[in-house]
Amino acid sequence: MMLRFLACLVVVDLASIVSAVPVNSSRQAGTFLSCLSSQPSLNLATWHKDRREFTNLTAAFNQRLYSSASVAVSPKDANAVAAAVTCAQKFNRPVTARGGGHSNLQNIELKEDNFTVVVGGGALLGDIALQLNEWGLAMAHGTGPMVGVGGHAGFGGFGFISRKWGLTLDAISAFDIVLANGTYVQGLTREQDPDLFWALSGAAPNYGIVTAYHFVAHQKPTNVVQFDYGFRGLSPAAMTQAFLAFQAWGKNSSPPELGIQAVIGANGSLDLSGLYYGSGENFTNLMAPDCFYARSLMTPDSDQLITEEAANAFFSYLQNTETTTQWFVEIDLYGGAGSYINSVPLNQSSFAHRSSLLTFQLYASSPTLNNPFPDYGFSYVDGMYNALVDPMKAAWSTTYGSYVNYIDPMLSPSEVKALYWSSQYDRLSQLRAKYDPDQTLWNPQAIQPTAVASRRSVREL
């Protein structure tokens, strides 16, 4: 894990930790840095003294975004994370934690019951999947092997088996966590603190730095069918009919054992791929009859399905609007018949979109995949979004949203509140005031604490 501290933003690697309040004087900065440097287990890196290491630690995956961190630490263990956060809290420095491959906290341990797996907050999904497979286990998670588990599980975590087993966060039985005041709590369960557990289960980075997740895994499936169907040169009308069939079949007929994703690309391309957790014979019988007819958005799993008008406007925009960006659209089936995701009530976790049927990721990169990102790229993706959403706004009202793990840095604070958190926001805001009233844990789209919530000391845990 790395921690970053911003301007002076401190980075601590849990990946890392970052602090984002400007330093008022060189004396104050020296005092703050002295607090960090007095802890050898933090592996302190600064812009001035360790430029190459610092740059590697703080670089963003999205080259369009830049870090304003000036200090980064890579703690050796959870106690070192707590020490770094204590320094940040003492000197009023907001902190951001990074996970995902540059962390010391990557251990994966199987407990005595042979199903509970304790995973370090900096571990990668690929490493987790390989280790679970060796133990004859599996769990729901995304398909990107280089994705870090920290934010993935902290904000949701969708995989092809999620309709059967739930999101990654639904497998969490306990958290090892450093709270905003530097307190380190091991094995925090729902019974120990129902409010905090609820908040962590969907919005974790707003309330603490998870140094390890305790997951309850499943026996790995004995039969898995991987499939991929590709179509090329589809017209907007044909694409519309294929999508409407996919949407209706996903809602009414698709079993939870099926994980499926549609990917739409240039020149009328449509790929349907996924995994079926069952026998090849059952898969053939399932798919043969009627499945295949020829920014983010989470659509409600209700009678208000995307209409033919909205779908046609969307696919016509994709095919008829000129752009030099490299773009694609991913559509994941979250809900539908028997989906575990939809079965979890909102009072069990803070994840806000339990009634979603489909999740769209709208994606465009620069023509070269490098900087600069063209201004017209923003308007192109906004046009995708508006072409689909505008015809549906009256029907959907406030029931559609966005997925936090598909970060949209262009959202306004009011859009963050409505699209990411919806009806969960007020309770999350009250709990932020309770557990991190000073906003020591920082990011640009963090949940804002209310001024009226109780501020009981988290040291009572």
Closest CA to 169 of 404, 410, 425: 404
- Decide if 129 contacts 145 (C-beta within 8 A): yes
**Secondary structure of residue 8 in the 3-state scheme:** coil
Strands (E) located in 180-291: 184-188, 208-216, 218-219, 225-231, 258-265, 269-276
Nearest one of 97, 77, 101 to 88, comparing CA atoms:
97
Asked if the bond preceding 291 is cis, omega within 30° of 0, the reply is no
**Among candidate residues 166, 175, 215, 171, the one with its CA nearest the CA of residue 197:** 175
Expressed in percent and rounded to 5, the helix, strand and coil fractions of the chain are 35, 25, 40
CA 156 to chain CA centroid, Å, is: 6
Q: How far is CA 209 from CA 69, 179, 442, in A?
A: 18, 7, 11
**What are the backbone angles phi and psi of residue 11, rounded to the nearest 5°?**
-110, 125
**Alpha helices, DSSP H, located in 322-424:** 340-343, 375-389, 393-396, 413-415
Q: How far apart are the C-alpha atoms of 338 and 315, rounded to whole Å?
A: 29
pLDDT by residue for the chain (461 residues), tens digit each? 655 544 333 334 344 444 443 334 344 556 888 899 888 888 877 766 677 777 777 776 666 666 677 788 889 999 999 999 999 999 999 998 887 655 789 999 999 999 999 999 999 999 999 999 999 999 999 999 999 999 999 999 999 999 999 999 999 999 999 999 999 999 999 999 999 999 999 999 999 999 999 999 999 999 999 999 999 999 999 999 999 999 999 999 899 999 999 999 999 999 999 999 999 999 888 876 443 322 677 777 666 899 999 999 999 999 999 999 999 999 999 999 899 999 999 999 999 999 999 999 999 888 887 777 788 888 999 999 999 999 999 999 888 999 999 988 889 999 999 999 999 999 999 999 999 999 999 988 999 999 844 443 343 34
Count Cα atoms within 13 angstroms, Cβ side, for 440: 25
CA 92 to chain CA centroid, Å, is 27
CB 177 within 8 A of CB 185: yes
Tokens 């812009």, residue located: 47
Q: 215 has which bridge partners?
A: 117, 172
Instruction: Quote the tokens at residue 64.
Output: 């369009």
69 and 9 Cβ atoms separated by less than 8 Å? yes
- Of how many residues is the chain composed? 461
| H or E element that contains 244 | helix 236-252
> Using N-to-C axis directions, what is the helix angle for 308-320 and 375-389, rounded to 10°?
160
* Residue of 424, 426, 448 whose CA lies nearest to 347: 424
DSSP string, 71-137: EEE--SSHHHHHHHHHHHHHTT--BEEE-SSS-S---EEE-TTSSEEEEETT-BHHHHHHHHHHTTE
For the four alpha carbons of 445, 451, 454 and 457, in that order, the dihedral sign comes to positive
3-state secondary structure of 307: coil
Task: Identify which of 200, 214, 208 has the alpha carbon closest to the alpha carbon of residue 82.
Answer: 208
Q: What's the CA gap between 416 and 184, in Å, rounded?
A: 29
Interhelix angle 308-320/236-252, rounded to 10 degrees, is 140
Distances in whole angstroms, Cα of residue 335 to Cα of each of 32, 81, 178, 431: 48, 38, 34, 29
